[in-house]
Amino acid sequence: MRLQLFVQSVRMHNSVMKDKTIPEKRDSDTKERLLKAAKNEFLEKGYQDASLRSICKSAGVTTGALYFFFKDKDDLFESLVRDVSEGLLSMLKEHFAGERKAFEEMKKSGKLPPRTEMADDVFAGKKIFHYLYSHYDEVNLLLKKSKGSLYENFTDQVVAITEKQNSLALGKYGKALVHWVSHMQINSFVHILTHVKSEKQASELLPYVMAYLQKGFFGLVDWDKK
């Protein structure tokens, strides 16, 4: 069995992000400048403390311009993170769907997964990290700077999805534990992402983290067998 983590088909989801081409006017980069300034401000202060005034100022535009391109503060934030958010969520869902299929088959055949090698999981982890680090800022906004915005529950959503998956193997231990495990798994990634700046360093850290999480996880799965 594999660790419950989002992965797979990064290429697919990249396509979701590709449509950044603005079809309208070409000679104006105002929107771009606004988005850039907004990203910096949101990253620096978080959604709530970010000031539209200040964003406009550092973009060299007036507030009216901002409101031409964006409905309101929430829309501005959403414009920065929507694609990555959607990409991440659907990526995750598909991955888990695949895992569920494998789990079903496993159950049917009665064979346990080979747990001695965790190479697969680490590999998967590296793949997803690559995706996350490729959209470092946006992911950061989603995970750590979204309080007060429409996305303030993003992490909860991710946890919820993970929870569904984990309840397959750990359901018998009750919802609270499943929730806790899921939270820990997701949080592990979030923490690394927000504390380890380079993908390379994150990659080096990953095997240890994976080992930790797997030991814990299988400790629960095998609880009644000891």
Q: Is 168 in the site for its own copies (CB under 8 A)?
A: no
Residue 145 lies near DNA (rule: CB under 7 A): no
Does 14 bind DNA (CB under 7 A)? Our answer is: no
Question: What does the alpha-carbon distance between residue 37 and residue 45 come to, in Å, rounded to a whole number?
Answer: 12
What is the footprint of DNA within residues 106-135 (CB under 7 A)?
Answer: none
Q: Which of 7, 92, 158, 181 binds its own copies (CB under 8 A)?
A: 181
Please report how close the Cβ of residue 17 comes to DNA at its closest, in angstroms: 21
For its own copies, what does the binding mask look like between residues 138 and 157, x meaning CB under 8 A? Answer: ---------x----------
> Contact region for DNA (CB under 7 A) — 65-73, 108-116, 123-131, 207-215?
65-73
Q: Is 221 in the site for its own copies (CB under 8 A)?
A: no
Given candidates 11, 20, 64, 117, which one binds DNA under the rule CB under 7 A? 64
Decide if residue 115 touches its own copies (CB under 8 A).
no
The CA distance from 184 to 144, in Å, is 16
Q: Does 9 bind DNA (CB under 7 A)?
A: no
Rounded CA gap, 181 and 219, in Å?
12
Distance, in Å, from the CA atom of 91 to the CA atom of 190, rounded to the nearest integer, reads 16
The structure tokens listed for 70 are 């964006």
The reply to whether 198 sits near its own copies by the rule CB under 8 A is: no
Which one of residues 31, 39, 95, 145 is an interface residue with DNA (CB under 7 A)?
31
The stretch among 45-53, 133-141, 173-181, 184-192 that binds DNA (CB under 7 A) is: 45-53
> Least distance from C-beta 64 to DNA, angstroms?
2
| Binding residues for its own copies (CB under 8 A) | 48-49, 147, 173-174, 176-177, 179-181, 183-184, 187-188, 191-192, 195-196, 201, 205, 208-209, 211-220, 223
